[in-house]
Amino acid sequence: MMLKRLLILTTVSLLTVVVATSAVACTGKKVVIGRTATLQQELLARVVMELIDKRTGTAVNEVIFDTPEAAHAALLKGEVDLGLEYTGVIGASLLSQAPTADADALYALVRKSYSADLNLMAIRPLGFENRTLAPAGSANQAVVILRKETWKKFPALDRLLEKLSGKISDQTMQEMEAKAAAGDVPKVANEFLRANKLY
C-alpha cells in the first residue's frame, strides 16, 4: 500500500514538472511584423500574422511605420522580426542598382545582397507586383523579409512563409484590396488562407 502511494505521488510530481516546463516553453513566443499604413501592407501583414498564428500558435504583433524607409530601419535594428518590401524599391533605393525588368534576376540580387550584407532573408516573392511604387523600368515584386536572428529562434518560419510564395497574383491582390476596402481586413485575410488551404 505504501509502495502504491509512493508511485502515485511520484507520477503526479513528474506530471506537474512536465506541465510546468511546457507552459514555460510556450510563454514569451512572439514575432513582430513591421508595415506601412497602406491597405495593401495591412492586408499582407494580416495574411502573414494569421498564417503564423494558426499554424504555429505563436503570437504576432504589428508595428505601423510612416514610411518604407522607417520600416526597413526598424528591421535592421531588430525592432521588428519581419518586414514587407518590394524588390524594385529595394534595388533602387537600398542597393543603388539600375532598374531592371528581369524579375527573377532582381529577386536573386536582393536575396543575395540582403543575406550577405544585412543578415536578412528575402522569402520568395508573393506573386504580384506593386506598380504604383515601382521605379521606372523595374520589376517590383512583393516579398516578405525575415531577420536571420528571428529565423534562428524559429527555424521553420522561412518554410512556413514560403507557402505564400506565388500565391497572390495581381488579380488576387486587387480583389482582396477591393473586399478589404469595403469590409473587414482580418476576414479577407482568413478567406484567402482558407481558399488556398494554408490552414
User: Do 177 and 39 contact (CB within 8 A), yes or no?
Assistant: yes
Identify any residues that bridge with 142 across adjacent strands, giving them in sequence order.
86
Residue 17 is predicted with a pLDDT of: 34
Residue 9 is predicted with a pLDDT of: 39
pLDDT above 90 (res 42): yes
CB atoms within 10 A of CB 56: 15
Closest by CA position to 48, among listed 15, 85, 73: 85
pLDDT per residue over 144-199, tens digit each? 999 999 999 999 999 999 999 999 999 999 999 999 998 899 999 999 999 999 98
State what percent of residues in the chain have pLDDT above 90: 80
Least confident of 19-23, 37-41, 52-56, 139-143: 19-23
Average pLDDT over residues 58-66: 96
What does the alpha-carbon distance between residue 32 and residue 12 come to, in Å, rounded to a whole number? 38
pLDDT per residue over 113-139, tens digit each? 999 999 999 999 999 999 999 999 999
Average pLDDT over residues 33-58: 96
Average pLDDT over residues 2-12: 40
pLDDT above 50 (res 8): no
Instruction: Name the pLDDT band for 24 (thresholds 50, 70, 90).
Output: very low
170-181 vs 39-56: helix crossing angle, rounded to 10: 100
How far from each other are the two terminal CA atoms of the chain, in whole angstroms? 50
Residue 199 is predicted with a pLDDT of: 83
pLDDT above 50 (res 3): no
Q: Which residue has the higher pLDDT, 7 or 127?
A: 127
What does the alpha-carbon distance between residue 185 and residue 60 come to, in Å, rounded to a whole number? 16
Residue 84 is predicted with a pLDDT of: 98
pTM exceeds cut of 0.75: yes
What does the alpha-carbon distance between residue 64 and residue 71 come to, in Å, rounded to a whole number? 8
Residue 137 is predicted with a pLDDT of: 93
